[in-house]
Chain A
Amino acid sequence: MADVKDFISNDPIAWCPGCGDFGILNALKAALVKLGRKPKDIVIASGIGQAAKLPHYIKCNCINGLHGRSLSYASAVKIANRELTVLVTTGDGDCYGEGGNHFIHNIRRNTDITVIVHNNQIYALTKGQASPSTDEGYVTKVQTQGVISEPIRALEMAIVLGAGFVARGYSADMEHLSWLILEGIEHKGFSLVEVLQPCVSFNKKNTYEWYSKRIYKANDDPAYDPGNYVAALQKASEWGDRIPIGIIYKAEKASYEEKSGLNKRPPLVEEKIDDIDITGILKEYA
């Protein structure tokens, strides 16, 4: 049985005290303890941003690469070795802004990865410019007259693009969030877990208080069926006085590994490559 101690990293944490990222880190650790796999069998990929530093603060394999590109290498890690549990920790800017194209196409690709988006509705690491999910009207040093672009509707996008698992959590509700992460990992295919994550330094609007007042648990309503596409889209579109958290949409579909046939053979990394015989195909050129 895994223990939370197994996942302790001794790298000093560089987040601000009170940052919502701590809640996500703890929820992730709790989920991984429940998952019961060894740290060596888990890879966490990340891009650049405050959220993207997370893999250093937990003991798992880590590939901390470029701003926006984490989904690309995460998917490929899974393709290379389907036996690994692959997670991504990314910011809303990293995932929906710089990495927007990869967000779209990795949902379509549907490798079995779990993507945790720390949504603080701001670019934190670069000190407070608007992100794709900053509320309209929010004033920053760049958006001096307030943001004029509409915020991205990432959960709706994910559902429409065919993601089989779309959830939203709240970093201050660790138990609920760790449940969502574990469900995401156990869902086969691309799983999106967006987390409302207060940034105490640069987002003066969407604070703990602001979120706490608005969130409610969608799955507490027994009538809500996350398997219903239309209802899920409706739920995902709610934003304002009431913000739903929980499993918003869930559907079974074939993963990349299944469709490509990867699941029926040993992981690619196990392939013997020392003396590959190509004489058979050379005949085609004779």
Chain B
Amino acid sequence: MTIKISGEAGQGMQAISTALAKVFKKAGLHIFMNQDFMSRIRGGNNFSQLRVSERPVFTLKGKSDITVCLDKGSISIHKPDMAEKGIMITDRQKFGTEETGPGFFDAPFYDMAKKAGGSELFANSAACGVAAGITKISFRLVEEALKEIFADKPADVIKINIAAAKLGYDFSAKYFRSDAFAVKEGAAAGNLLMNGNEAITLGAIRGGCKFYSAYPMSPSTSIMENLSRYAKDFNIIVEQAEDEIAAINMIIGASFAGVRSMCATSGGGFALMVEGLSLAGMLETPIVAVDAQRPAPATGFPTRTEQADLDFLIHAGHGEFARAVFAPGTVEEAFYLTVKAFNLAEKYQIPVLIMTDQHLADSSRDIDPFDMDKAKVERHIISKEDSKKVTGYKRYQLTETGVSPMAVPSWIEDVIYADSDEHTEEGHITEDGKIRMSMVDKRFYKKMALLSREVEEPTAYNLSGADMVLVGFGSTYGVMKEACEATQGKKLGFIHLSQVWPFPSDHIAGLLKRAKKAVTVENNAGAQLAKLIRRSTGIEVDGSILKYDGRPFNADFLKEKASEAVNNGRR
């Protein structure tokens, strides 16, 4: 079932969708929740979508079953997306509208808000109660959820919110007799409700990040905000930098001094970080940088989603140096890959990039609690203990593997020279051509070879039987999975990449050979993945399903496009 809550920015849609998500999660149901906001603080049209299911859910549906309109404008915007037997909750008295008929349920929630002892500000809680009442969920859960959501508000405010919700709930109980939207309790109790940015934050904490520097930019900012909430408890310094250039250079400095460090931004900010990325490659300092993509070029759609930075991230930076680029597809992967990013960055003394997007960043899903055994810190610097034994230290010592031991300044008796000019093993400036070649081999070839050996394997689903295999990276995991599962007769399969650099060429080539037909699924206009596959494997896919309206895919849309592609594919 999909519930949509729509209104103007500032009307508190997010609060009630989160409250409802909590309600259903408490009832042991699975949740997927996504926010669709405009880049403004008041007005416009914002909405939240909440999918509730007895089975795990990973993505959005095209149509909504229950649509809650907090303002008049929402009615016409969302009417076309109502499910055939869906219902729209409106407040005719407040909106002065005439909508009647089986698809509409008139509930005077603005009036209820006032009756509950508050102002119209509490209409969102009243509407939340109305929606909950329609699903026949127990009111006790609504009350608990509201208490949690408004935990930091004064007691009387919490009370009024609950009273407003109760009025709404009772109203539905009285006037909405049908069981059409009633939910059954599920078995998923105890799960966590989390979005991608929250998972990255927790991954950073678990991964040992002690210094974070960034400049605010949607949709990355909530990582900085989340981390700041926990900074004190975990002794993390979060520094808002003057710009993204400073942010990346700061984390390079902290990393040089032995501290695991991270920054996050979106495409425009990442563009400013590019010179610093190249510096990290040259200095061989480990860093983790997140690009939470949004539609570009330039400022683009600040609050919406896109996957058009793929080419940019794998190539960003002048010169040639090794890097890894992760593209988590789920909240869980966002967590585990962030921990891994810190380990890998330190192991090879390279920048590791995490490419996400607004859709993954801001969508919450219920997940099993993380397995900490799969999220372990592996250290690769010379420990303080072992530092005592170090003599004749050379920062860029040439080794078989290309990786030089990394020491922490002041822990060893020797001094450390790190240089962005081409340098000798000692780290001093040189213009010697031979040394240059061995340093390039070290930074680029040798490290890339090692990285390729431990690349994340793509996920493959139902390749053999399928008429068509979808191929995607990053946040499209969920939508591909659901589109495949929902197609009758096992006609669709999918391949998902959660690491795009080094490109897992052998894996992908092997998998694609088993596919009858393959199309990429990408939230961009350039079919960047399809081209990357061709460059890396020589295989040309049969087409691409592209979406670049700034909105994420939904399962219905993808299923439809995929079946069109089955018929039109051109291999």
Footprint of B on A, CB under 8 Å?
Answer: 11, 14, 38-41, 43, 45, 48, 53, 55-56, 59-66, 69, 72-77, 79-81, 83-84, 101-102, 104-105, 109, 260, 262, 265, 268-271, 273-276, 278-279, 281-282, 285-286
Contact = CB atoms under 8 A, between A and B. Distances in A.
Given A268-B210, A282-B192, A39 B415 contact: yes
A73 B415 CA distance: 17
B269 to A, nearest CB: 14
B256 A73 contact: yes
Interface residues of B, number: 66
B257 A76 contact: yes
A285 B379 CA distance: 28
A276 B415 contact: no
B242 interface: yes
Contacts of B213: 76
A274 B377 contact: yes
Interface stretch (B43-51, B114-122, B421-429, B477-485): B421-429
B225 interface: no
B249 A72 contact: yes
A59 B233 CA distance: 38
Contacts of B252: 65, 73, 76
Contact of B279 (A11, A66, A260): A66
A21 B245 CA distance: 28
A269 B408 contact: yes
Given A40-B415, A101-B242, A285-B193, A77 B257 contact: yes
Contacts of B211: 76, 79-80, 268
A260 to B, nearest CB: 6
A210 to B, nearest CB: 31
B275 interface: yes
B311 interface: no
Interface in B205-236: 205-208, 210-211, 213, 230, 233-235
Contacts of B261: 76, 80
Nearest to A57: B428
A278 B239 CA distance: 21
15 contacts: A40-B415, A62-B417, A62-B418, A64-B429, A65-B418, A65-B420, A72-B241, A76-B254, A76-B257, A80-B254, A269-B257, A273-B208, A273-B377, A275-B376, A282-B369
Given A64-B420, A76-B211, A269-B257, A286 B190 contact: yes
B249 A278 contact: no
A281 B210 contact: no
Given A61-B416, A65-B252, A81-B409, 6 more contacts: A72-B250, A73-B256, A76-B239, A105-B242, A273-B260, A274-B379
Contacts of A14: 429
B62 interface: no
Which 3 residue pairs of A and B lie closest in terms of their CB atoms, listed nearest first?
A73-B253, A273-B208, A76-B253
B237 interface: yes
A61 B234 contact: no
Given A64-B419, A273-B377, A41 B410 contact: yes
A276 B259 contact: no
A41 B409 CA distance: 7
Contacts of A43: 257, 409
B362 interface: no
Contacts of B198: 285
